[in-house]
Chains A and B, each alone.
Chain A
Amino acid sequence: MTGRASTLEIRTAPHVLSGYGVDAIMFNVVVALLPTTAFGIYVFGLPAALTIGVALAACLLTEHAVCRVAGRPSTLGDWSAAITGLLYGLTLPPGLPLWMTALGGVVCIGLGKALFGGLGRNPFNPALVGRAVLQAAFPVAMTSWLPALAPDRFAALPPSTLTLPFTTPLYDVVTGATPLAQWKFGQVLTDSGALAMGMVSGSSGETSAVLILAGGAWLVARNMMSWRIPLAVLGSVALGAALLHQLDPAHYAPASFHLFSGGLMLGAVFMATDMVASPMTALGAWLYGALIGVLTLVIRTWGGMPEGVMYAILLANAVSPLIDRVIRPRRYGSRGAPA
């Protein structure tokens, strides 16, 4: 008799698994973000590279430190902190003082994730928690933008980048305005083609809608991302914007402008789809996505700020548990027989 038979392993079925885990999903999201990241660095140069790098490092170090303090094995290997770091870095204006970037990174993981119990427990998208804190604390720095494709972008750093902690950064005249701000405060409409390609001022990750959509499509094809949420967000924004534009074209920007400007694309594809903070049912996903779209449009159109994606997603995150509580799968056999 074969010797090993005395040590049979007893486990509950199933004895086979689908093959990919949380770490694989998270890793694939990181990979899907890489083209967008690379393009952001190409458009904004060294400042973007530094901002994203510091954001990523701050998130990873905080995650590791939190685990050490809690006496748990490090959870860097699940790649979720890397997603947060990357996404957070992509939402920041390139050239943001690096100490602010680092501070926000600590907030992302510390306040946005670890405080709630780590992966799977965060009610809000951690990257947006960090960004929201920065937006409230440093409104000027968070809305000072570099022009796209500046000729010396790989050679020089704007002086603001290396500002010492807790000092006020100085901005010079090269600072650009985002297309959303140009529209909001000057009724200047940027061409949608340039928006879609990403050759405009903005955060590093707010640039190329094409690359963001490609990354999202890749994840959807691998069943690692909800397709309903981005579709609901973008669809509701497009529908609402088109309706308003029809009513008064002088006051309301066209749908294509809304779709491709600001953080909407990045938010709809990569932020709103955070599995932990979004509903689990199909109908819930539609509702949640539509809520984000409507809130974004409302803030952009009638709010005090040019951009509203971040707050729209955070608010919808807050509603997500309620959606999951109200929208339940219809249990098999609760209908009875039609015959």
Chain B
Amino acid sequence: MDLLGLKTFRHGVHPPEAKDDTRALPIRQFPFAPLLVVPLLQHIGAPALPLVHDGQEVMRGASIARPDGRLSVAMHAPASGVVRRVALAPSISGRMVPAVYLEPFPGSTQEVAEGAPCPLDAAPAVILAAIQAAGIVGLGGAGFPTHVKLTVPPEKAVDALIVNGVECEPYLTTDHRVMLEQRDDVFTGLRYLLAVSGARRAVIAVEANKPDAAAHLRAGLPADLAATVAVELLQVKYPQGAEKMLVTALLDREVPSGGLPLDVGALCINVATTAEIGRLLPHGRGIVERVVTVGGPAVQRPGNYRVPIGTPLRFLLDTVGLSGDVNRVFLGGPMMGQAAPSLDIAVTKGVSGVIAFTDHEAARATRREYPCIRCGYCLDACPIFLDPAALHALARNEAYPRMAAEEHLLDCFECGACAFVCPAHLPLVQQFRVAKAALRKAAPAAMAS
């Protein structure tokens, strides 16, 4: 509790928000790249199966790949154009994934193919199928198929639905703009979510640095939602947007180690995902674009853009202007965003931001390492109360199994708070990732459980 009585979680850090460049900029439609690369694996699970062949002409919004099993979603053509080939393409993970290379027609318009609308009073299974067919995955960055997340096992019940509009990562302002500009989509999406989850109430969580968004949502709350939906301002603190931190802040419950919010009756859905459900389902459409904050000091015209899925980073950054001393580009925010190994990677559904740093910012984040001085800052930062210093000491000795068994490495969700505050500038998150990878390699079955 702070002076304003706003809720939050314990620990965490306060990185500079860096949102001033783009928070006031309305969402603008981004042009089509000459060649769009639509990866068929933009989510956690199995790649979608292509429905198109080389040379085939498709309309924007038409389905170009179908889900391969339950843990998979459909893909849609982001532009009207010609399929040039179905081949492998680079992804942020460094792996090659199957992709559809689509060349938009010259003068391709924003007109989009529509399908059968999904009525609000449809059976939950029908709504879930529609969400899967619309290709919806978590737009906050996790990329987990939304229909799977929304499937509540019969032995569990959702008591509170949490719509996550926290956006605690620095630089990112997409959720902020979506809440301001797509209020009705958010509410429509929320109706679908309430219907499928069976939740009796919902909370739209907004960090206190977006009071305009919270006020806008409150002012427009429709009569049918007024009794069940609350808009709650949360303290500005990173990682407030992490699911566990949200559940703790709003409901004062702790998600059990290794468990999901569902285990304590909560279900968290990103606000952009919610808006996308509300925007697409009433028209039977699929995801063809998403709102991306393109920013950072190396970007000359930062902004919030509605970017077609499959837009290569190179085209994206060339269009907004990239300064010559660009040093690194990462997808998402600076606390958790993955650095892009090349600009041939395409914008996918989980990309909330494309942030480019110059040599200057990169140098500030690449400091000389010192030995751990046991200052304990990391213990005070870790939102899940681990001991990053102890994990570091074990990692130095490559004692990976002990990291998991004694220091609960697998609870770490790599928010980066410890590495952010570490005055010794130790690459803590990197060490933890290496350790997790080694453990996965050693015992794949144990990690999966």
Contacts and interface: CB of A to CB of B under 8 A. Distances in A.
B330 interface: yes
Interface string A1-43: 1111100111111111111111111000000000000000000
- Secondary structure dominating the interface of B: loop
Interface residues on A, range: 35 or more
A9 B382 CA distance: 27
B371 interface: yes
Contacts of B364: 16-17, 19
Given A17-B425, A22-B424, A339-B253, A10 B341 contact: yes
A144 B443 CA distance: 66
A2 B318 CA distance: 8
Interface string A295-339: 000000000000000000000000000000000111111111111
B357 A25 contact: no
Given A2-B322, A17-B425, A22 B373 contact: yes
Contact of A16 (B15, B341, B376): B15
Contact of B334 (A15, A19, A330, A331): A15
A121 B424 CA distance: 14
A9 B298 CA distance: 14
A12 B429 contact: yes
Q: How large is the interface on B (under 10, 10 to 19, 20 to 34, 35 or more residues)?
A: 35 or more
A15 B324 contact: no
Nearest to A333: B257
B423 interface: yes
Interface in B133-161: 159
Contacts of B265: 337, 339
A168 interface: no
A280 interface: yes
Contacts of A20: 423
A120 interface: yes
B385 A332 contact: yes
Interface string B250-277: 0111111111000111000000000000
Contacts of A3: 324
Contacts of B365: 11, 14-17
Contact of A21 (B382, B411, B424): B424
B314 interface: yes
Contacts of B357: 15
Interface in B352-391: 355, 357, 361-362, 364-368, 370-376, 379, 382-387, 389
Interface in B414-428: 414, 416, 419-425, 427
A216 B150 CA distance: 53
Contact of B371 (A18, A121, A279, A280): A121
Contacts of A336: 254, 256
Nearest to B238: A14
B408 interface: yes
Contacts of A78: 370
A240 B116 CA distance: 79
Contacts of A8: 326-329, 339-343
Given A13-B416, A334-B257, A280 B379 contact: yes
B401 interface: no
Contacts of A279: 376
Interface of A: 1-5, 8-25, 78, 118-121, 226, 275-276, 278-281, 328-339
Given A12-B339, A278-B374, 13 more contacts: A11-B339, A14-B419, A15-B337, A17-B425, A19-B364, A23-B370, A280-B374, A280-B379, A281-B376, A328-B387, A331-B384, A331-B385, A332-B248
Q: Which 6 A-B pairs rank lowest in CB-CB distance, beginning with the nearest?
A: A120-B371, A280-B376, A332-B384, A14-B416, A333-B257, A15-B334
